[in-house]
Amino acid sequence: MEPPSPASVTTTPETRNWAALPHDILLTIFLKLGPCEIMQGAELVCTTWRRVAVDEPALWRRVDMGTASPWARFAAAGSGAAARAAVARGAGQCEAFSGPCDDGLLLYLAERAPCLRSLHLSSFHGSNEILNLVLMKLPLLEDLEVSPSQSSNTLSDGLFESTCQACPFLKKLTIRFSNVPVRHDYVYGDNLLKETIKGEIPMMSELLSLELFDCYLSSKGLTTILDYCPLLESLHIEGCFYDEMDADLRGKCARVKDLTLPNGSDEDYELDEDYEWDRQFYKMYCESWDYERWATVDNWGMDYHPQYYYLGNELHYDI
C-alpha cells in the first residue's frame, strides 16, 4: 500500500498561546489602546493580559472615556464606574482625563489623580461649587475644557469668571456654554446661550489659549480678557458681541496672533446650516425623555463580564 501523497495530508494549524507573549510586548500593544478598548476587550482575553491591564500604571496616565455626545447622559452609570477604575489603576500617575463627568466623579479625580495636567469634561453634569473646589486641588492643571450637559441646570451664571478664580495658572481654557446645536431663530427664547462674559477675572499670567462658545460678549468683557491675559496668543469666541469697539480695544485685539470674535449683534449671529434642529422637536426631546429609565445597563445591550457587575443604579468595575 502506497503512503498518502503530501498534498492529501492535512495539517492542524498551530494554536497560538497569546498568554505567552513577553510582558514588554504586551505593554507596547496595550499602550496603543484606549481605556475602553482595554476594559471591554483586551483584559478579558486571559489572566496574563488582565494582570498587565491592572498592574501597569503607565497604561492609565491618559484616560479618555470618549467625547461629548447627546447620549453621554444615558451611559453615565457605566462610564462613571469605568472611569473610576481607570483612574484608580493609574495609582496617582494619571495626568490627563477626558470624558463625561458629574460631581461625584470630579471629586474622585481630585482625590485619586492630584497630578492632572489636562482635564476635559465633556457632557458635565455638575455644579460650579464642586468644579471650583476640585480645580483648587489640582495645582499642576494646565489645560481645562468644560462642556456643560444639555440637561444640566446646576451650573450657575459666572462659570467663566469662577473658573478663572479657581485656577488662575491655566495655559489653555475652553468652555462650551451650550452643548447642543442651536438655531438662531429660537436660541434666546429657550435660553440656550448660557453665559454673559462681563469680565471680573484675576490675572491669568500663563494663559496662552482661550476658547468660549455660545456666549454674550461685551466690550468690557473683551477688554478684561485682553488686559488680564497678557500672554494670550489665541482667542476664539463664538456667540454675540453687542457693543462697539473703540480704537483702544481694536489695538489690544491686534496683539493677539490668532483672533476670532463674534460678527456683531444678535441679528448678525448665525450658526452652521448643517444644524437642522427644530424648536418643537428639541423641546419635546428634552421634556419627554426618561433619562433614569434609559441610563441602565439593560438598555445598552452590554454583556456581563466578571470584571464588572451591576448593583442598584451603578455599574461597578473590579480594580
Confidence at residue 312, expressed as pLDDT on a 0 to 100 scale: 40
d(CA 288, CA 75): 18
Lowest mean pLDDT among 167-171, 234-238, 300-304: 300-304
Q: Are strands 118-125 and 96-102 parallel, antiparallel or unpaired?
A: parallel
pLDDT for position 156: 55
Strands (E), 177-302: 195-197, 209-217, 234-241, 258-260
| Tens of pLDDT, residues 29-50 | 788 887 778 877 788 778 888 8
Q: Give the CA distances from residue 169 to residues 140, 166, 213, 229, in Å, rounded to whole numbers and listed in that order.
A: 9, 9, 21, 10
- Whole-angstrom distance, CA of residue 155 vs CA of residue 148: 8
Task: Tell which wins on pLDDT, 204 or 1.
Answer: 204
Mean pLDDT of the chain: 74
Q: Quote the pLDDT of residue 153.
A: 56
What tens digit of pLDDT does each residue of 234-261 get? 999 998 887 888 999 999 999 999 999 9
Please report, rounded to a whole number, the percentage of residues in the chain having pLDDT higher than 90: 33
pLDDT for the residue 304 = 34
Residue with the larger pLDDT of the pair 12 and 236: 236
Kindly report, residue by residue over 121-168, the tens digit of the pLDDT.
988 888 889 999 999 999 999 999 999 876 555 565 688 999 999 999
Residue 276 has pLDDT above 50, yes or no: no
Residue 54 has pLDDT above 70, yes or no: yes
> Highest-confidence range of 79-83, 84-88, 273-277, by mean pLDDT?
84-88
195 CB-contact burial (10 Å; exposed 0-12 / middle 13-18 / buried 19+): buried
Closest CA to 302 of 11, 66, 26, 40: 40
Specify the pLDDT at position 231.
96
Furthest CA-CA distance within the chain: 105
Average pLDDT over residues 257-276: 57
Please say whether the beta carbons of 307 and 44 come within 8 A: yes
List of domains in the chain: 19-55 (1.20.1280), 62-289 (3.80.10)
For the purposes of burial, counting CB atoms within 10 Å of the CB of 294, is it exposed (0-12), middle (13-18) or buried (19 or more)?
middle
Q: What is the DSSP letter of 185?
A: T
Q: How many CB atoms lie within 10 A of CB 91?
A: 14
Residue bearing the bigger pLDDT, 119 or 275: 119
pLDDT at 303 over 60: no
Q: Which three cell numbers stand for residue 45?
A: 482575553
- Residue 68 DSSP SS3: coil
pLDDT of residue 222: 92
* Nearest one of 74, 126, 129 to 105, comparing CA atoms: 126
Cα gap 310→305, rounded to integer Å = 10
Q: 312: alpha, beta or left, given left = phi > 0 and alpha = psi -120 to 50?
A: left
Residue 201 DSSP SS3: coil
Task: Please state which of the ranges 99-108, 112-121, 288-297 shows the lowest mean pLDDT.
Answer: 288-297
8 A C-beta contact, residue 198 and residue 290: no
Residues 6+ apart with CB under 8 A from 293: 299
Q: What pLDDT, on the 0 to 100 scale, is given for residue 314?
A: 45
